[in-house]
Amino acid sequence: MPLLAGLAALPAFAAAPTAPVPAWSEPSPPHAIYGNAYQVGSKGLSSILITSPQGHILIDGTWTGNAPLIEANIRKLGFRVEDIKVILNSHAHFDHAGAIGALQKDSGALVRATAAGAKAMTLGGRDPDDPQFDSTTKDAFPTFPVTGDIVDGTVVTVGPLKLTAHITPGHTPGGTAWTWDSCEGSTCKHIAYVDSLYAFALGSYRYSDHPAYVAAYWKTFDRVASLPCDILVTPHPEQGAGKTCKAYAQDGRDHLKQQLEDEKNGT
């Protein structure tokens, strides 16, 4: 898991033939999460489709080269890519936002993000405020138009769909979790798509040099632990598999504690 998350932090390849983790560029069969919520991503990377007769919402685009895989999965489920009205994001690293530009072009959807997330997207993922920013790389994912209007508590609507934003800075400055209800018949469940919570740094970045950022990070764990969360889904599916939001938040706390301890000890 640390290896996957660390590789997820690496810079994007603008025209790379394969993903840094090879499985990330391989197809994975789409499947229902619950009700009208579907997993349409590739192996190891989530892309979440929430559907309605009035149009759909997609969260995350996975790796830069994966738009054809996601679109094929959407069509396998019997839905039209062109009916996606809004595209949202968990965080603007290449393995979660890289294909959003292509998906936006093919669907005509509006991309919405937090101000920090939109900033990172307009930089192709090369945000100097990101703990995992690598100043030596010239690689980035393709940029695209994005509206940076999402704040904590924003409700994104498409027809009957209502997704609520929960700002979760830490893994990146623009990290965002999304919650909504999906129903099967008269039984509805609270679904939480929660951003990556693990603390990783590249280059000379030290979390302990940024106390305000660390303070916001601690609040993220409390926010995630209190989410309405019958079903947890995460950008790397294996990170949240079988966990509650509270357990996932505790994993994040433990990882940040270890990161700060390592920085204190110079390791």
Query: What residues are annotated to the active site?
Result: 91, 93, 95-96, 171, 205, 236
Reading the block at residue 117, the tokens are 């997330």
Strand order in the sheet with 231-233: 155-158, 161-167, 176-184, 187-193, 231-233
Q: Which of 165, 258, 259 is nearest to 205 (CA)?
A: 259
78, burial (CB in 10 Å: exposed 0-12, middle 13-18, buried 19+): exposed
> Which residues, listed in sequence order, are joined to residue 165 by a DSSP beta bridge?
178
Query: In this structure, what DSSP letter does residue 160 have?
Result: T
Long-range CB contacts for residues 182-188, cutoff 8 Å, separation at least 24: 182/33, 182/34, 182/35, 182/36, 182/37, 182/50, 183/35, 183/36, 184/34, 184/35, 188/35
Spacing of C-alpha 129 from chain mean position = 17
Locate the DSSP E strands across the chain. 31-34, 37-39, 48-50, 56-59, 84-88, 110-114, 147-150, 155-158, 161-167, 176-184, 187-193, 231-233
Q: Are 25 and 13 in contact (CB under 8 A)?
A: no
